[in-house]
Structure 1
Amino acid sequence: MLAEKYPYYLANRPEQPNADLEVRDKYRGTVATRVALADTAAIERAIGAAEAAADDMAAMAPFERQKVLNHCVTRFTERAEELAQALCVEAGKPIKDSRGEVTRLIDTFRMAAEEAVRNEGHIQNLETGARSKGYRGMYKRVPIGPCSFISPFNFPLNLAAHKVAPAIAAGCPFVLKPASLTPIGALLIGEILAETELPAGAFSILPCRRDGAELFTTDARLKLLSFTGSPDVGWDLKARAGKKKVVLELGGNAAVIVDNDADIDDAVARIVFGAFYQSGQSCIGVQRILVHADVYETFRDKLVAATGKLVSGDPSDENTFVGPLISENEAKRLEGWIDKAVDAGGKLLCGGKREGAILQASLLEDVPASQPLCAEEAFGPVAVLSRFDDFEQALDRVNDSRYGLQAGVFTRDLYRMLRAWDRLEVGGVVIGDVPSWRADNMPYGGVKDSGLGREGVRFAIEDMTEIRNLVIRTP
């Protein structure tokens, strides 16, 4: 299924100087394939090639950029099952979730193809006073230049797509560092990009060790850094990025509120999905569940029953809902957090057992807010329930977090919906659904320790372009 080895892509071309990076099957623990690993010299060459390609990328007509993106849409569609199977192996992602991510990869490139011919400017009325009589203005958006992208392991295809596709639409060359644990998806994207007529040097996709990636952050030739990953790493990169623009998509401990007028069965079904899909390894996965006291017992019992039916195991099995975490160490960490929460007075309602890298879907209640399961990002198949009596109290508790990515609210009350939108300190509020829901064209990002800036195709293009003004005086 996977090739024996994979090259990296430097200035649009595959290179195989070594096969030093082992990529493991996350379920079986065996080596699935090997990948070329870039050294500092290769990264230096890639950045130089991107800088040299900047003028040619900027000069591409919008329809030419669109043609590249549409080619990718066609080829991703043709190779959809191959992409899904590779993702299932390298990330341990259940095959149904893997196919869903391939669909989003295709959608993201399709949206970028549409936006590539919509990068329009604006006519300005400058005659706002006597001193500007006879002046008119307009502006357009121009590519910012070479971009640096660092993508995470949990969505190896789609989160890379949210950087790569807007860059092509905007006319920016780029260098991409995919996660070392899951590089195959990004390299397959590179294989398909190499089939296009992008200018030489327009893209490089370079797996590398963390200590070899310094240039992705510090090199002044790069005009934008877009990073998706952990808060500690992200803010450190920003501090060292120099003058370049920085976009950060970081972590969260997303909360969902279930009000007393909610459709309980619907809320249960959506929260089971939001908490445990792709084994909980999502920065907007449901972690904190706040339920009105009037419906708490009914909701809890139904949620526990539904969670207990989830199948754990081999991610290639069509029936599997919870596969392995990215590593056994991550599963051990989360198992330790559960034990610590129970020792602090929390009650384990279901799950909690670990076998290798697989942790059962787990629910707890009465966990003190200071415990890591509440205060930090779990990033696994664990969620914590608590009850509230007053809606304002629930909003306060959602805000009692250093994170602020997205929140969900199950309510039918229009005024409470608007109150949540006004008060919740998050980048997005989702009504009638879980915070885990995302459409790839919406502005997506967080506040506080959850990040800086917004992704979503059109919004990423805005970050990858700058406004250039034109003023015309009529004598």
Structure 2
Amino acid sequence: MSKLMKQTQTAKKYLWINGQKVETNSYSPLFSPYSGEEIAQVAMGDEEQTKEAVTAAYNAQDIIGKMPAYQRAEILENAVTLLKERSLEAAEIISLESAKPIKFAKAEVARTIETYKFSAEEAKRVYGETLPMDAAEGGIGRFGYTVREPLGVIGAITPFNFPLNLVAHKVGPAIAAGNPIVLKPASQTPLSALFIGEIFKEAGLPEGVLNIVTGPGSAVGETIVKDERVSMVTFTGSPSVGIGIRNKAGLKKTTLELGSNSALIVDKDIDIDTLIDRCIMGSFSNQGQVCISLQRIYVHEDSYDTFINTFTEAAKKLHVGDPLDAKTYVSSLISKKETDRVLKWIKEAESKGAVVLTGGSLQDGILEPTIITEASSDLKVSCQEVFGPVVVVNKVKTVSEAIKLVNDSRYGLQAGIYSSSLENAATASRELQVGGVIINDVPTYRVDHMPYGGLKESGTGREGIRYAVEEMTEMKLVVWNQR
């Protein structure tokens, strides 16, 4: 057991309200998804304490909203420096509470550092535009421009799968735009969020700007969404919860990132060896618990046999085990309940004629990397979001056929295509019904400043720091009559 694990184990974790640790009447044990050991006692916030957090944020609106941009940027830069110094500690926290293999946890920390760095830069670029008022006859003698102003309190609800970086994608842009935040982290992964609260206090963020309330969604999340003082809700999670939030949010702005069953098209005349490592990463990194995890692959019949044989052999070589072991590529899913669900979906696929080429079983409680072929599009492993180390590979005759199969989905977050044909790549970029098309890479590709979001049940709005800042500000028009 690492020094960090010994320090963290059974430690009491409090709410973070108005720059202070706040006790609650009840605490809930937090268990490691991998070992089952208790790693912390986490405060269970209630409706009243959530309202206290909203009050603290509401009272801090002018403090952060009127703070000069360079000062907001300095605070974010300070957080970057501190996070670099404590990067290993941050990675171990992620691995401990989520069972993310340490190699991927370290990568998440590196991305988080970059996300806050981008946020610091964007804090200095919140501006509007001038308008040619005299383009209209009635605009002669007038001068117009727009400015972007902070929205107010941002309610942020984050998932377990990227407990540090997806928090950064909400907290960083909110601070850059001059907004206070009330954050509810996922119940299984609150430690990363509370860790970043400490980082920002040391970085000089004023009290009340960042408030973190752990606890059940029925108490904390509901209160955030319904409180009239909250101006915007930004949520990453399941479609059912996201749709519920939108229905309850009233006229609040909402940004919802709700998942996917991301697909990749592999055209003919592609050197299969060059893409296998990327397909392995896309399908099995973080146990497939990634919103843009590669779940469906459509391979041209000319390349299918070579692809499936090479891909299967590569998957069989992946190390399964302890997330804190540097060799581990795949570890435990976030809970036994999720493991049982994914196994049930695999068995259902088999019972309906699909073929499991590798995986489909547990190894010391860990679901092995699983590749399924001959799966029809109506099976859960195809049409729903697996959120596990499972990928379906099917054969197609043409790219056009593959595009139709990709689009035959309730989701539309990102999709990818490998092709040496400019025409096929261009066609895919036009016709794929997704928020992002990745050419000659897997749909799991993301860098943190690009616009990120989807269509259909994959959500509304865009993340990616500049785009999130736009979502978190309100445009105001100013017109001067110079006559």
User: Match for residue 197 of structure 1?
Assistant: 204
Q: 2:369 aligns with which of 353, 361, 381?
A: 361
1:104 aligns with 2:111: yes
Q: Give the deviation of 1:149 after TM superposition.
A: 0.3
Q: 1:262 aligns with which of 250, 262, 270?
A: 270
Q: Give the deviation of 1:135 after TM superposition.
A: 0.6
What's the CA shift string for 1:27-53, capped at 9, x where partnerless?
A: 101101112221111101111111111
Q: 1:347 aligns with which of 339, 355, 380?
A: 355
Q: 2:414 aligns with which of 406, 414, 423?
A: 406
Q: Give the deviation of 1:179 after TM superposition.
A: 0.3
Q: 1:119 aligns with which of 123, 126, 133?
A: 126
User: Match for residue 8 of structure 1?
Assistant: 15
Correspondence 1:71-220 to 2 at 5 A: 71-213=78-220, 214-220=222-228
User: Match for residue 38 of structure 1?
Assistant: 45
Rounded to whole Å, the distance in 2 between the matches of 1:190 and 1:37 is 17
Correspondence 1:320-469 to 2 at 5 A: 320-355=328-363, 357-469=365-477
Rounded to whole Å, the distance in 2 between the matches of 1:127 and 1:217 is 43
User: Match for residue 54 of structure 1?
Assistant: 61
Amino acid at match of 1:457: I
User: Match for residue 257 of structure 2?
Assistant: 249
Q: Is the 8 A contact 2:76 2:203 kept in 1?
A: no
**Structure 1 pair 356–215 and aligned structure 2 pair: CA distance change class (3 A):** farther
Q: Is the 8 A contact 2:179 2:209 kept in 1?
A: yes
Structure 2: where are the runs of 5+ without partners?
Answer: none
Rounded to whole Å, the distance in 1 between the matches of 2:420 and 2:84 is 39
Compute the TM-score of the two structures, normalised by the length of structure 1.
0.98
What's the CA shift string for 1:129-185, capped at 9, x where partnerless?
A: 332110111111000111100000000000000000000000000100000111000
Q: Is the 8 A contact 2:82 2:203 kept in 1?
A: no
Q: Give the deviation of 1:473 after TM superposition.
A: 1.1
What's the CA shift string for 1:363-410, capped at 9, x where partnerless?
A: 010011111000100000000110111111110000000000000101
Q: How many residues align?
A: 475
Q: Which moved more, 1:350-359 or 1:422-431?
A: 350-359
Q: Give the deviation of 1:355 after TM superposition.
A: 4.0
Secondary structure (helix, strand or coil) at the match of 2:133 reads: coil
Q: Is the 8 A contact 1:254 1:288 kept in 2?
A: yes
Rounded to whole Å, the distance in 1 between the matches of 2:17 and 2:138 is 53
**Structure 1 pair 356–237 and aligned structure 2 pair: CA distance change class (3 A):** farther
Q: Give the deviation of 1:125 after TM superposition.
A: 1.1
Q: Which moved more, 1:169-178 or 1:254-263?
A: 254-263
Q: Which moved more, 1:458-467 or 1:192-201?
A: 192-201
Rounded to whole Å, the distance in 2 between the matches of 1:474 and 1:86 is 59
Q: Give the deviation of 1:16 after TM superposition.
A: 3.0
Q: Is the 8 A contact 1:135 1:472 kept in 2?
A: yes
Amino acid at match of 1:381: P
User: Match for residue 290 of structure 1?
Assistant: 298
Q: Give the deviation of 1:200 after TM superposition.
A: 3.0
Rounded to whole Å, the distance in 2 between the matches of 1:195 and 1:85 is 20
Q: Give the deviation of 1:356 after TM superposition.
A: 5.8
What's the CA shift string for 1:261-316, capped at 9, x where partnerless?
A: 22211121210110000111111001001000001001100001001101111111
Structure 1: where are the runs of 5+ without partners?
Answer: none
Q: Which moved more, 1:449-458 or 1:192-201?
A: 192-201
User: Match for residue 231 of structure 2?
Assistant: 223
Rounded to whole Å, the distance in 1 between the matches of 2:332 and 2:194 is 23
Amino acid at match of 1:150: I
Secondary structure (helix, strand or coil) at the match of 1:396 reads: helix
Q: Give the deviation of 1:19 after TM superposition.
A: 6.3
Rounded to whole Å, the distance in 2 between the matches of 1:357 and 1:45 is 41
What's the CA shift string for 1:398-423, capped at 9, x where partnerless?
A: 00000000001011211111111110
Secondary structure (helix, strand or coil) at the match of 1:325 reads: coil
Amino acid at match of 2:224: F
Q: Is the 8 A contact 1:325 1:357 kept in 2?
A: no
Q: Is the 8 A contact 1:12 1:193 kept in 2?
A: no
Q: Which moved more, 1:22-31 or 1:349-358?
A: 349-358
Rounded to whole Å, the distance in 1 between the matches of 2:380 and 2:184 is 30
What's the CA shift string for 1:187-225, capped at 9, x where partnerless?
A: 000011122433332120111112212111111110000
User: Match for residue 313 of structure 2?
Assistant: 305
Rounded to whole Å, the distance in 1 between the matches of 2:190 and 2:365 is 20
What's the CA shift string for 1:245-270, capped at 9, x where partnerless?
A: 01000111010000002221112121
Q: Is the 8 A contact 1:6 1:19 kept in 2?
A: no
